[in-house]
Structure 1
C-alpha cells in the first residue's frame, strides 16, 4: 500500500452538522448518493467533492433490509457518507467501531491514490474504499457498509417527491466570499479529471507518481459496483453488466445477488429467485415491472438493496486484486 502525505489534516473539511431541505441548487443530472431513511436523503456529489465526508445520524426508521450492527442502537444509526473524487468512490458506512461512535475527518493522506480518513476519537486512519483502519489503535477494524445507491438529482426527485437533500455549506449570504453555492461548488476540475484516460493524484493535480494500467478488457476508470460478503469480493464493471443486457444473477460469499444497470446506473439487490430482464428500459421480473430507484414493483413488492461500493476499477483492483472482477480474468 503506497501512502502519500498530500495536504494538512482537515484542509478538506468534513460536514459534521449537516442540514437538509427540499431544494437543490445544482443541475438535474448531478449525481447524488441516496440513503433509504424516512424521508430518503440525497447527498450530492457536487457537495461531497469539496468535503468528502458527511458525519450524519439516521433515526430508527432507516430502511436497511438485511443490515445489522451491534454498534448501532435501535433508535439511531450514525453514518459517514464518504466520497473520494480521485477514485469516484462513493460509500456509506456505519461510523462505529470498537464499541464507540466515531467522527471522521480527512487526514490529508492518500493510500493507493484513495482518500484516507481519520477518526477524532482514536486518531486511527482508515482507507476509504476498504472501510478498514490501516494505522492506529483500531488498526484492522472494519466499518459496516450501509445499503445506498447513486442516481441523478432528477431521478431522486421523481422517485422520492418527499425526499430531502443535503444543503451547501459554502455560498450564499453567510459565506464571506458571497458567491453562489453553484460557484462555490464548481465541478469543472472534477469533470476535467473524469474525462481523462489517466488516473490517480497525478492526473487530478499534476503531482505524485504517474500510474499505468496493464489490462485492456476494462479501463482504469470503468465504474464498478463491488460487493464484499463472507470473505468473498466481486466487482461488477458497468460495461460487463451492460454487455449482458443490464441484468446479472450471481453469488458472492454464498449470497445470491441481482446486479442491474440502466444507463450509467448500477444497483445491487438480494436476488428473489425470479428471472429478470429489461424491456424498453424497464426492468421486468415475475410478471411485473420494477423501479430501480426505489426497488419497488408495480404490485407493491420490494427488493432488498445490498451493501455495495461504487468506485473506479483501478481502486477496486488495488484493494481486491486483478482476479476480483465478474467475468474478467
Structure 2
C-alpha cells in the first residue's frame, strides 16, 4: 500500500501520535521559540534551504501531519479532458471551478484531496489551485509574485506540515513556507509576501458543465496508485472535532460546521441554506442544492448534499461579479481570522 494511502487508513491514530510528538518535542521558552537549536532539532534535516532567521509565527505552532515533505505529491503538469470526456465524475461531485477571461477549468476534489496542490496556468496566468481537506479550504492563487528584482513565478509543493490543522505549502524557488488559508509566506526568505487569491466556485460537476460546456476538467494522474473517487476522510465532516489541534475556539457553531468566509466575515452555511440568499452591503450570497460533500461518505459521489454556494460583489454599474471566498470549516475561519465576524444570526 502506498504510504500516502496508508497514512489515510490510519489517520486518526497518526493525528494522535503527531499531537503527542508536538507536546513532547524539545521544550522551547518563548524567547527561544525560533532559536537555531530548536530549528535544527525539529526541521533542519528536511529543510536545509529554508531561511529560518525570517519567520512571522511561533514555530511551536507547526505540527507534523504524517507524510514527509512531498509525501503528498503536488500535481505539476495536470492533464485535462473536455467536460464530455469526464466520465469519471458523477454529476453531484464537487469541483473547484476557475474562470479567467472566458477560459474555464474544473479541478475535482476527488483528485485534489490526494494531491492538495495543482500548479497550472489558465488564459496565460500561472495559477496554483489548492485544497486542504482538514479544513475544507479550496483556494486558487495567482502564483506570480512581484518584487524589486522583477516578478517571480513560484510553484508549490506540500510540506507535510500543519498549522492550526491547515496545510503549510512551500515554494520550490526559496523553500519558504506558506499558509494555505491565507496565501501568506510565514517562514523563510519570502516571509510576509502574499499571493493574490482568485475567485473560484466550489460547485457540482453538473453546474460547471452547464456553465462552461467547452470547459476542461483535470483528470486523475495516471499510474499514481491512488483510489480516486474514494474519500480517505470518510465521516470527517460529521465529527465533533478535527483530527489535529487547531487552537482556541468558542463560536456558537460547531468547529466542523461549514461557513462561507469572505475576508474578515463569515456566514454559517446552515443559515445561508435556510435563507437561500443573503445580502450584506455589496455582497450577495446564494445557495442551491445539488453538490455532494467531499468529506462525508466513503465514495465522494455519495456524500451528503451541502449545496452550491455563489458569492458575488455588486459593482458600480449594478452588475454582479464573483468574489473571492471560501466555504470552509468554522474552526479554520476563527484560527486565521481571530478578529473576524461570524454572522450566526
Deviation at 1:96, TM superposition (A): 2.1
Question: For residue 133 of structure 1, what is the aligned residue in structure 2?
Answer: 185
Deviation at 1:212, TM superposition (A): 7.8
- Contact 1:219–1:313 under 8 Å retained in 2: yes
- Contact 1:125–1:134 under 8 Å retained in 2: yes
Q: Is 2:250 aligned against 1:214? A: yes
- Contact 2:80–2:218 under 8 Å retained in 1: yes
Question: For residue 26 of structure 1, what is the aligned residue in structure 2?
Answer: 89
- Contact 1:56–1:79 under 8 Å retained in 2: yes
Write the distance in 2 (CA, Å) between the matches of 1:134 and 1:127: 7
TM-score (norm 1): 0.73
Residues 47-95 of structure 1 deviation map (CA, whole Å, 9 limit, x = unaligned): 0000100001112xxxxxxxxxxxxxxxx21111000010010001111
- Contact 1:94–1:145 under 8 Å retained in 2: yes
Residues 94-146 of structure 1 deviation map (CA, whole Å, 9 limit, x = unaligned): 11224311000001100111000000011110010111111001111111110
Question: For residue 271 of structure 2, what is the aligned residue in structure 1?
Answer: 240
Change (3 A) 1:259 1:219: same
Question: For residue 279 of structure 2, what is the aligned residue in structure 1?
Answer: 249
Question: For residue 20 of structure 2, what is the aligned residue in structure 1?
Answer: none
* Root mean square deviation, CA, Å: 2.3
Write the distance in 1 (CA, Å) between the matches of 2:232 and 2:93: 15
Change (3 A) 1:176 1:36: closer
Residues 147-166 of structure 1 deviation map (CA, whole Å, 9 limit, x = unaligned): 11011112222222221100
Change (3 A) 1:258 1:221: same
Change (3 A) 1:136 1:248: same
Structure 1 spans left out of the alignment, 5+ residues: 60-75, 178-182, 202-208, 275-285, 287-301
- Contact 1:129–1:309 under 8 Å retained in 2: no
Deviation at 1:211, TM superposition (A): 7.2
Write the distance in 2 (CA, Å) between the matches of 1:129 and 1:79: 16
Change (3 A) 1:131 1:211: closer
- Contact 1:87–1:200 under 8 Å retained in 2: no
- Contact 2:204–2:308 under 8 Å retained in 1: no
Question: For residue 262 of structure 1, what is the aligned residue in structure 2?
Answer: 288
Write the distance in 2 (CA, Å) between the matches of 1:41 and 1:56: 10
How many residues are aligned here? 260
Structure 2 spans left out of the alignment, 5+ residues: 1-57, 290-306
Change (3 A) 1:176 1:314: closer
Where 1:157 maps in the other structure, the secondary structure is helix
Write the distance in 2 (CA, Å) between the matches of 1:85 and 1:138: 25
- Contact 2:158–2:167 under 8 Å retained in 1: yes
Write the distance in 2 (CA, Å) between the matches of 1:234 and 1:54: 27
Correspondence 1:1-329 to 2 at 5 A? 2-6=61-65, 7-22=67-82, 23-24=85-86, 25-37=88-100, 38-59=102-123, 76-97=124-145, 98=147, 99-170=151-222, 175=223, 184-201=227-244, 209=245, 214-215=250-251, 217-228=252-263, 233-243=264-274, 245-251=275-281, 256-263=282-289, 264-271=307-314, 303-321=320-338, 323-327=340-344
TM-score (norm 2): 0.70
Change (3 A) 1:95 1:200: farther
Deviation at 1:261, TM superposition (A): 1.7
Bigger helix share: 2
Where 1:184 maps in the other structure, the secondary structure is coil
Question: For residue 25 of structure 2, what is the aligned residue in structure 1?
Answer: none
Change (3 A) 1:315 1:28: same
Deviation at 1:327, TM superposition (A): 4.7
